[in-house]
Amino acid sequence: MTIPPILVLLLLAHVLGDFYLQTNTMADKKSTNIEWLLIHGGVYSLCIAAILIIGAGFSRYWLFLVLSAGISHFAIDCLKMGMPASIMKRIPDCVKNHAIFKKKFIIDQLLHIVTLIALWWLWGECIPVREHAALRGFLNETSHTLADFMLVILGLLVIIKPVGLLIGKGDIWDFNKSKSGSAPNESQKGAGKMIGYLERIIVFFLLINNQFGAIAFVLAAKSVMRFPEIGRSDDASSLAEYYIIGTLLSMTSVFAVAFLLGLI
Instruction: Answer for the pair 31, 24: CB distance below 8 angstroms, yes or no.
Output: no
CA 54 to chain centre: 22
Lowest mean pLDDT: which of 97-106, 151-160, 246-255?
97-106
Kind and range of the H or E element at 255?
Answer: helix 236-260
Kind and range of the H or E element at 7?
Answer: helix 5-15
pLDDT in tens, 112-160: 999 999 999 988 878 877 766 654 444 444 455 666 788 889 999 999 9
pLDDT in tens, 5-48: 888 889 999 999 999 998 888 888 887 788 888 899 999 999 99
pLDDT of residue 144: 57
Instruction: Answer for the pair 6, 127: CB distance below 8 angstroms, yes or no.
Output: yes
Contacts 24+ apart (CB under 8 A), 223-227: none
Instruction: Answer for the pair 121, 65: CB distance below 8 angstroms, yes or no.
Output: no
pLDDT of residue 138: 44
First vs last C-alpha separation in the chain: 9
pLDDT in tens, 45-75: 999 999 988 888 777 888 889 999 999 999 9
pLDDT of residue 134: 59
243, pLDDT greater than 80: no
Residue 257 to residue 264: CA distance in whole angstroms = 9
